Amino acid sequence: MQRKTLLKRELSKLGIDGILITDLLNVRYLSGFTGSSGCIIITPKNSILLTDFRYQEQVSEEVKGFRIIIENSERSLEIRNICKEYEIKKLGFEDHNVTYGFYEKLIKRKIRLKPVQGVVESFRIIKSENEVEHVKKAVKRAESAFRKLLPHIKAGVTEQKLALQLEEFIKREGSQSLPFNAIVASGPMSALPHAQPTNRRLKKGDLVVFDWGGECGGYYSDMTRTVLINNNNISHQKELYYTVLEAQKRAIKSVFAGIKSARIDAAARDYINDAGFEDYFGHGTGHGVGLAVHEKPVVSWRNKEVIEENMIFTIEPGIYLPGFGGVRIEDMVIAGNNGAEILTSLPKKLKIIKR
Amino acid sequence: MQRKTLLKRELSKLGIDGILITDLLNVRYLSGFTGSSGCIIITPKNSILLTDFRYQEQVSEEVKGFRIIIENSERSLEIRNICKEYEIKKLGFEDHNVTYGFYEKLIKRKIRLKPVQGVVESFRIIKSENEVEHVKKAVKRAESAFRKLLPHIKAGVTEQKLALQLEEFIKREGSQSLPFNAIVASGPMSALPHAQPTNRRLKKGDLVVFDWGGECGGYYSDMTRTVLINNNNISHQKELYYTVLEAQKRAIKSVFAGIKSARIDAAARDYINDAGFEDYFGHGTGHGVGLAVHEKPVVSWRNKEVIEENMIFTIEPGIYLPGFGGVRIEDMVIAGNNGAEILTSLPKKLKIIKR
Across the interface, of B57, B115, B171, the residue whose CB is closest to A100 is B115
- DSSP characters for A88-143? -SSEEEETTTSBHHHHHHHHHTT--EEEE-SHHHHHHTSPPHHHHHHHHHHHHHHH
Q: Do B101 and B224 reside in the same domain of the chain?
A: no
B194 chain-A contacts, CB cut-off 8 A: 54-55
What stretches of B218-342 show up as alpha helix (H) in DSSP?
Answer: 235-254, 261-274
> What CATH code is carried by the domain that includes residue A48?
3.40.350.10
Give yes or no for a contact between B209 and B327, defined as CB atoms under 8 angstroms apart. Answer: yes
Q: Do A236 and A267 reside in the same domain of the chain?
A: yes
| B136-165 residue pLDDT tens | 999 999 999 999 999 999 999 999 999 999
Q: Do B143 and B208 reside in the same domain of the chain?
A: yes
- Tell me the pTM: 0.92
| A58-99 residue pLDDT tens | 899 999 999 999 999 999 999 999 999 999 999 999 999 999
Q: Do B237 and B169 reside in the same domain of the chain?
A: yes
Single out the residue in A70, A93, A124 at which a domain terminates. A124
Average pLDDT on A318-335 reads 97
Q: Do B114 and B187 reside in the same domain of the chain?
A: no
Q: Which of A325, A323, A321 is nearest to A190 (CA)?
A: A325
A190 chain-B contacts, CB cut-off 8 A: none
The answer, yes or no, to whether residue A1 has pLDDT greater than 70, is no
| CB within 8 Å: B95 and A101 | yes
| A175-189 residue pLDDT tens | 999 999 999 999 999
User: Please, what sign has the CA dihedral across residues A236, A238, A241, A242?
Assistant: negative
Chain A interface, mutation test: which of B59, B76, B100, B316, most A Cβ atoms within 10 Å?
Answer: B100
| A208-231 residue pLDDT tens | 999 999 999 999 999 999 999 999
Q: Do B28 and B142 reside in the same domain of the chain?
A: no
| CB within 8 Å: A282 and B53 | yes
- CB contact, 8 Å: A29 with chain B? no
Which structural domain, as residue segments, surrounds residue B117?
A: 3-124
Q: Which of A288, A284, A278 is nearest to A222 (CA)?
A: A288
pLDDT recorded at residue B53 = 85
Q: Do B79 and B136 reside in the same domain of the chain?
A: no
Q: Do A165 and A290 reside in the same domain of the chain?
A: yes
In the stretch 117-146 of chain A, residues with CB closer than 8 A to chain B read 117
| CB within 8 Å: B282 and A100 | no
Inter-CA distances, B235 with A122, B156, B227, B252, B339, Å: 56, 22, 14, 26, 33
Among chain B residues, the shortest Cα distance to A36 is held by: B194
Across the interface, of B99, B176, B192, the residue whose CB is closest to A98 is B99
| B74-130 residue pLDDT tens | 999 999 999 999 999 999 999 999 999 999 999 999 999 999 999 999 999 999 999
- CB contact, 8 Å: A164 with chain B? yes
Chain A interface, mutation test: which of B37, B57, B99, most A Cβ atoms within 10 Å?
Answer: B99
Number of domains present in the structure of chain B:
2
Single out the residue in B61, B93, B124 at which a domain terminates. B124
- CB contact, 8 Å: A260 with chain B? no
A283 chain-B contacts, CB cut-off 8 A: 54
Q: Do A72 and A187 reside in the same domain of the chain?
A: no
Single out the residue in A101, A124, A147 at which a domain terminates. A124
* B90 DSSP assignment: S
> What CATH code is carried by the domain that includes residue A166?
3.90.230.10
The answer, yes or no, to whether residue B1 has pLDDT greater than 70, is no
Q: Which residues, at least 6 apart from A158, have a Cβ–Cβ distance to it below 8 Å?
A: A197, A198, A199, A200, A201, A202
| CB within 8 Å: B95 and A99 | yes
Q: Do A179 and A286 reside in the same domain of the chain?
A: yes
Q: Do B133 and B204 reside in the same domain of the chain?
A: yes
Task: Name the minimum distance, in Å, from the CA of B102 to any CA of chain A.
Answer: 7
Q: Do B167 and B260 reside in the same domain of the chain?
A: yes
- CB contact, 8 Å: B104 with chain A? yes
